[in-house]
Amino acid sequence: MKKKIAIQGYEGSFHQLAGIEYFGEDFEPICCATFREVVNHVKNNPECHGGVMAIENSIAGSILPNYNLISKSGLQIPGEIYLQIDQNLLVNPGVKLEEIYEVHSHPMALLQCSDFLETRPWRLIETEDTALSAYHVHKTKTRVIAAIASTFAAEKFNLEVLRKNIHTVQNNYTRFWILQKELHIDQRADKASMVFQTDHSKGSLARVLTQISDCGINLSKLQSMPIPGSDWLYAFHADCEFADLAQWNYLLETIKPLTADVLVYGVYRNGKLHKNCEKDNI
């Protein structure tokens, strides 16, 4: 029986491709319009075995609302995936470049392909998902509308890749977190994600960061997040890379006296970069 996994977006999306990289082909996507819907499915749907959520992009940066969603959800992160995002111009079979009048895609995808698009007189239409744009082109059988999406979407909807890799920046990666209700820590884990608050006294953040360094742990990401309802107070998301769980557990014990609150929501193996060379929304 296939595992049901909640993804943001539709079939053929980069979220589905990230899910395949993590879970293998043996999973059935539960397509969600929003990230909040993904979280709600993982928390409340007994048929849902987990979720896939984009958390940052190498060009656009962090998706800050998703950090807040996770920190409040009580969900756990058992793993992560880094996926290369390759954008392509997709059309129905036989359509030629000079027939195109409109190009549909997610606003981020249109932005990522700005250099290519600026040289054409096409009307650009923003949509909620790259894969949904590809599906629309396929369903309508249009010859005047193209979509920007992955080659994975092209295969799924029987579209032709008219122009491949039209994105401006070639090394474009999105990082995805895997979400589950309960955390089963891999004893080979070498990365963790936490959010902490200090007492906001002078030097309090510096003392936490110094302790992380003194423990020999690599702080691979530090992201400040406003605390809702407070007067300019911030929490800090931190990704830490370590040699083994003993080193990580020691760090946790030593920083607790230096913080007002610490919440760990992921202890997992460091994700590897996956290229979409063959299969080629946030």
Around Cβ 50, how many Cβ atoms within 10 Å?
A: 25
pLDDT above 70 for 184: yes
225 and 244, same domain (yes or no): yes
Distance CA 8, CA 31 (A): 6
Distance CA 221, CA 64 (A): 13
pLDDT at position 275 is 58
The tokens for 67 are 């950090």
**Domain assignment of residue 278, yes or no:** no
Confidence band of 1 (pLDDT split at 50, 70, 90): confident
**Domain assignment of residue 273, yes or no:** no
pTM metric for this prediction: 0.88
Domain housing 28:
3-84+172-182
pLDDT at position 174 is 93
**Domain assignment of residue 277, yes or no:** no
Distances 95 to 89, 114, 136, 158, 239 between C-alpha atoms, Å = 11, 22, 15, 13, 46
Q: Is the dihedral of CA 65, 36, 148, 81 positive or negative?
A: positive
Instruction: Give the rounded percent of residues in the chain with a pLDDT score beyond 90.
Output: 79
199 and 246, same domain (yes or no): yes
pLDDT above 90 for 175: yes
Looking at the structure of the chain, the number of domains it has is 3
**Domain assignment of residue 275, yes or no:** no
pLDDT at position 251 is 97
pLDDT above 60 for 75: yes
156 and 195, same domain (yes or no): no
Domain CATH number, residue 17:
3.40.190.10
Q: Taking all residues of the chain, what is their mean pLDDT, rounded to a whole number?
A: 92
125 and 250, same domain (yes or no): no
- DSSP assignment, residue 99? G
Are the CB atoms for 144 and 99 separated by under 8 Å? yes
177 and 42, same domain (yes or no): yes
Q: Which of residues 82 and 108 earns the better pLDDT score?
A: 82
Are the CB atoms for 60 and 36 separated by under 8 Å? no
